[in-house]
């Protein structure tokens, strides 16, 4: 209990310090943790050694956006995380967590591919995939646009729609999922996202906006 309290306390502190909005703050951290746990539990029966990395997976899942370059210097963020968790892990585990959160972003994977993290490779993919699954939240994408870009609701919808069409709905085509559970879950979440897009379109079109796709 203390362990998770400490992790989420850091999320709250870092979010306040760096003005991290709801799209990448504590709600997102919780969602990624739950997705990571689901993938972990699905993989554990055929890969029991994952148990050794459970704490690393959960920590990286909760703290992964507390070094996001959209809000801060990434190196400073990773350094702050490493210092904060240093008393709870061996130094090599801190290095593993730092490597996971420092290489898991969509842009880095698209540019450089998957890193080679040895015994932490599965832990890396679980956390990375959990973050990708959380990205299917259409409202979250709109919230980021409203908070960080100052968009109005129409612009936020359009920008989110474009991002889903060009990136998020192509996660499977781009082979970004390696675990079967994540692949299947992504299809379920894609269906939910499409329903949400349809709902938003109906709401916004009810105001007779001619700009809705």
Percentage above 70 pLDDT, the chain: 96
Cβ(100)–Cβ(124) below 8 Å? yes
Per residue in 149-207, pLDDT (tens digit) is: 888 999 999 999 999 999 999 999 999 999 999 999 999 999 999 999 999 999 998 86
**Topology at the third CATH level for domain 1-134:** Hypothetical protein af1432 (1.10.3210)
Calculate helix-pair angle for 2-18, 26-43, nearest 10 degrees: 140
pLDDT of residue 210: 56
Q: Which long-range contacts (CB under 8 A, 24 or more apart) does 167-172 make?
A: 167/106, 168/135, 168/136, 168/141, 168/193, 169/193, 171/132, 171/135
DSSP letters along 144-155, please?
HHHHHS---HHH
pLDDT of residue 213: 58
Mean pLDDT of 46-50: 96
Query: Residue 208 above 80 pLDDT?
Result: no
Q: List the domain boundaries for the chain.
A: 1-134, 136-213
């Amino acid at each position: 209990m203390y362990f998770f309290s400490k992790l989420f306390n850091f999320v709250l502190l870092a979010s306040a310090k760096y003005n991290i909005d709801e799209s990448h703050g504590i709600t997102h951290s919780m969602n990624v943790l739950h997705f990571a746990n689901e993938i972990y539990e699905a993989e554990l029966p055929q890969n029991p050694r994952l148990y050794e990395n459970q704490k690393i997976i959960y920590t990286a899942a909760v703290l992964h956006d507390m070094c996001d370059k959209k809000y801060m210097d990434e190196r400073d963020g990773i350094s702050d995380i490493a210092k904060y968790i240093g008393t709870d892990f061996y130094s090599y585990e801190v290095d593993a967590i730092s490597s996971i959160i420092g290489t898991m972003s969509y842009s880095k994977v698209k540019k450089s591919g998957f890193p080679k993290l040895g015994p932490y490779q599965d832990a890396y993919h679980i956390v990375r995939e959990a973050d990708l699954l959380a990205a299917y939240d259409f409202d979250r994408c709109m919230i980021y646009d409203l908070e960080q870009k100052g968009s109005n609701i129409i612009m936020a919808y359009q920008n989110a729609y474009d991002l889903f069409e060009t990136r998020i709905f192509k996660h499977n085509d781009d082979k970004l999922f390696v675990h079967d559970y994540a692949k299947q879950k992504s299809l379920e979440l894609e269906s939910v996202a499409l329903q949400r897009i349809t709902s938003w379109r109906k709401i916004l079109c009810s105001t007779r906006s001619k700009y809705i796709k």
